Amino acid sequence: MTASTITPATTPAKSARLIACHECDLLQREAPLTGEGVLRCCRCRAELYRNHPNSLDRALAFTLTSIVLFVISNVHPIVGLAVNGDLVQTTLLGAVRILYNDGMWPLAGLVFATTFLMPLLQTTCMAYMLVPLRLYRLPYRADVVFRLMQLARPWGMTEVLILGMLVALVKLAHIASVVPGVALWSFGTLMLLLAAASAAFDPHELWQRMGDRYSGAPDPDQLATPSARTALASGLMTCHSCGLLTKSDAHLHDASCPRCGAHLHPRKPASYSRTWAFLIAAMVLYIPANVLPVMNTSSLFGSQKDTILSGVVYLWISGSWPLAVVVFIASIAVPMLKIIAIMYLVISTQRRSAVLLQQRTRIYRLVELVGRWSMLDIYVITILVALVQFNALATIQAGPAAVAFGAVVVLTMFAAMSFDPRLIWDAAEAHHG
């Protein structure tokens, strides 16, 4: 695999298309790629484009296979628990139903959305666009479907679910005999196929195959001036959904992308205030999420209330220290570090700091990358609640901390999405000007 940067907009290039970095807003020109090449921003090193030969055909094959496995994964049991001749099995939707019946409907809704609804929406949207193109036809309202797919992508958490299943199986092995189900293996394969489909999918080729003429895109030769380093300074806006660079409309509040129809803004609206709102709410809920019981266990020997930290201790003393480390990092360290990191980014950006620009941009990327893995403990609780239902012998119910913790994960993800990393570089542009 080769990696390359692209030339700034100030360098003449007649045939190169003008694009703007989605993280620092620098205007640049595309460079040709061969093989599995990667195009990176010459200023902040953000990945702008990744070349995939035959990307749409490969993505279609992975997507259609994923749909088949998705059906198998949600029809067959994930795992079973055998105690004294009784076998308790559960499917993913069955586990969601048990959470709902126990009164934990916010948790049930979160698990349903992140493990069933969003992966289903992502795969069906991709298939909806790719199947007609394979048959040399244009998909109807591909712009709306493309935006739906982009909306669902960050919220599909099949890979986190798989790790949560493994942690739950380790805990269950100390209680009774664990019987792996068909869905456990199909979910593992589904995780790999969804990742492969997402990696192979190339939006550039998608719009080209649909006859995209980049309507509204500026002429590159009109902007090759040293005073127009960024899209904002040149009166341009980048679509966050499809990446098209377009000229700013006089009515910014009503501007929409001429290609996919998404709303356009020079910067994310009310980025600071929205980020602070989500961040403060997450900090408030982080306390009950770690203090209150996340799980209540009732058995013949009495009842026990476990917090997130006590669950980590249980894994450690039972000999599963690698999983204990994983759960500690994902469920305790990551949410706290995310809150600290986002707070640092917002404060430094609001103060118009022009130092450590690349380092702060890398922190933003890391925050977006690891945020979803905090859902690990939620999925562990879901599996345990669904399987340990032996009436008088033993039952497990989700505690109030589970709802608070799920809210912390969602709020920190919203906070990261609300923050506009281009604001980090605006201070540098002000100094440069």
Q: What is the pLDDT of residues 270-320, one digit of tens each?
A: 999 999 999 999 999 999 998 888 888 776 555 677 788 887 887 788 777
CA angle 377, 382, 387 (to 5 degrees): 130
- CA atoms of 229 and 7, how far apart (whole Å): 12
Residue identified by tokens 């000007």 is 433
> 158 pLDDT exceeds 60?
yes
Q: Which residues pair with 27 in a beta bridge?
A: 20
Residue 266: burial class (beta carbons within 10 Å; 0-12, 13-18, 19+): middle
Quickly state the pLDDT bin for 243 (edges 50, 70, 90): confident
DSSP 153: G
Spatial contact of 234 and 16, defined as CB atoms under 8 Å apart:
no
Which alpha helices (DSSP H) does 173-262 contain, by range? 182-200, 203-209
173 vs 93, higher pLDDT: 93
What is the C-alpha end-to-end distance of the chain, expressed in Å? 37
CA angle 13, 19, 24 (to 5 degrees): 120
> 421 pLDDT exceeds 70?
yes
Residue identified by tokens 């484009």 is 49
Residues 6+ apart with CB under 8 A from 432: 229
Side-chain half-sphere exposure of 123, counting CA atoms within 13 A? 26
Instruction: Map residue 33 onto helix, strand or coil.
Output: coil
Residue identified by tokens 């894994």 is 315
Spatial contact of 6 and 37, defined as CB atoms under 8 Å apart:
no
What number is the average pLDDT over the span 189-211? 88
Q: pLDDT digits over 11-44, tens only?
A: 444 446 788 888 888 888 877 777 777 888 888 8
User: Which of 37-51, 112-126, 159-173, 176-190 ranks highest by mean pLDDT?
Assistant: 112-126
What number is the average pLDDT over the span 67-80? 92
What number is the average pLDDT over the span 67-76? 94
**pTM for this one?**
0.87
Number of other CB atoms surrounding residue 278 within 10 Å: 21
The size of the chain, in residues, is 433
Spatial contact of 281 and 295, defined as CB atoms under 8 Å apart:
no
- CA atoms of 21 and 422, how far apart (whole Å): 9
What number is the average pLDDT over the span 407-421? 94
